[in-house]
Amino acid sequence: MKLVRFGPPGHERPGIWIADAFGPDAPGILDVNAMAFDIADYDAHFFAHGGLRRLPALLAEPRRVVVRADGVRLGPPVARPGKIMALGKNYAEHAREFGGPPAVVPVVFSKAVTSLNGPYDPIRLPPVSRHVDGEVELAVVIGRPARRLAEETALEVVAGYCVLNDVTDRDAQRAAQQWFYGKSFDTFCPLGPWLVTADEVPDPHALRMFSRLNGEPLQAGTTAEMIARIPRILAHISAGITLEPGDVIATGTPAGIGSARNPPRWLQPGDVLETGVEGLGTQRAVIERER
């Protein structure tokens, strides 16, 4: 299933994307809340209380409520997660282009929840931002509470996967000598378009990923290049930090970022940045200057 949240910012409704709901190239969205009033959103309560198990029955309803997807805004497919965590230097070539060796121990940092953005919403650069990058990443969404996971069973807690763009202000990152601030500006975490449930992603370590700026390729890689794979990431984090339903974990980015190019390709107002992961959809964001 492809879970979406649709509607105006702050008023999104939970839905399920149906690619051919109204015929070829005419997608629709199953309005989950219109059919199950107690499913208010894709939030921690939904994941913790078996919400995913209820959705197939809604899809099978003969009188299901489906709206046309054309012109409907999609928000982040997870409603305000408790934590957004991410891996740094988890792709060897990216670590080298960023000026350092690959990580031996997983490098974990976080992004502010307020940085969440819809997959097609504008990315807004604050007035102080001049050197900003995008980074395509595979994100993991946690489906149930987890602590001290074993690598062998760690994937059992995964609800699904989605695309995450780890937008970063490099000046702020370098000036602060840490990563949280420069990666947490408002709109700097586009997520989606869909949360694809884990049963539809048989091997999360075999997915092509890319980014394009104004139609020109930047990043092109595969999740097979991860140094620490998802079971190790989950085991490492949960050894000391409880993972909760709805938490989002980004797993790193491949080489090709704009700041590593000669000359650098910084995001500028008017640019169009696309980021995608095979089977999980493609984001498209217009870059704007915040006023």
pLDDT in tens, 166-222: 999 999 998 888 899 999 999 999 999 999 999 999 999 999 999 999 999 999 999
Task: Label the pairing between strands 74-75 and 2-6.
Answer: antiparallel
User: 276 with 161: CB under 8 angstroms?
Assistant: no
| 3-class SS of residue 52 | helix
Distance, CA of 213 to chain centre? 18
Cis peptide before 193 (omega within 30 of 0): yes
Residue 2's pLDDT is: 98
Q: Which residues contact 229 (CB under 8 A, 6 or more apart)?
A: 205
Top-level class of domain 84-289: alpha beta
| Largest Cα span, the chain | 57
Alpha helices in 114-177 (DSSP H): 170-176
| 3-class SS of residue 187 | coil
Residue 94's pLDDT is: 83
The residues that bridge with 28 in the sheet, in sequence order, are 18, 68
Q: Residue 7: pLDDT above 90?
A: yes
pLDDT in tens, 216-244: 999 999 999 999 999 999 999 999 999 99
Q: Please name which of 54, 93, 50, 44 lies closest in space to residue 244, comparing C-alpha atoms.
A: 44
The residues that bridge with 275 in the sheet, in sequence order, are 211, 283
Distance, CA of 8 to chain centre? 19
Residue 95's pLDDT is: 80
Q: Residue 271: pLDDT above 80?
A: yes
Q: Please name which of 244, 129, 253, 143 lies closest in space to residue 187, comparing C-alpha atoms.
A: 129
Q: What is the DSSP letter of 9?
A: T
32 vs 40: CA distance, rounded Å: 8
Length of the chain: 291
274 vs 117: CA distance, rounded Å: 14
Cβ count within 10 A of residue 31: 19
Q: Residue 100: pLDDT above 80?
A: no
User: Phi and psi at residue 190, in whole multiples of 5°?
Assistant: -60, 135
User: 108 with 237: CB under 8 angstroms?
Assistant: yes
| Mean pLDDT, the chain, integer | 96
Query: Radius of gyration of the chain from Cα atoms?
Result: 18
pLDDT in tens, 37-88: 999 999 999 999 999 999 999 999 999 999 999 999 999 999 999 999 999 9
CA-to-CA separations, 92 to 36, 104, 106, 223, in angstroms, rounded:
45, 10, 12, 12
User: 56 with 1: CB under 8 angstroms?
Assistant: yes
Please report, rounded to a whole number, the percentage of residues in the chain having pLDDT higher than 70. 100
- Taking the chain, what is the end-to-end CA distance rounded to the nearest angstrom? 38
Residue 96's pLDDT is: 80
Q: Where are the domains of the chain?
A: 2-75, 84-289
Q: Residue 246: pLDDT above 80?
A: yes
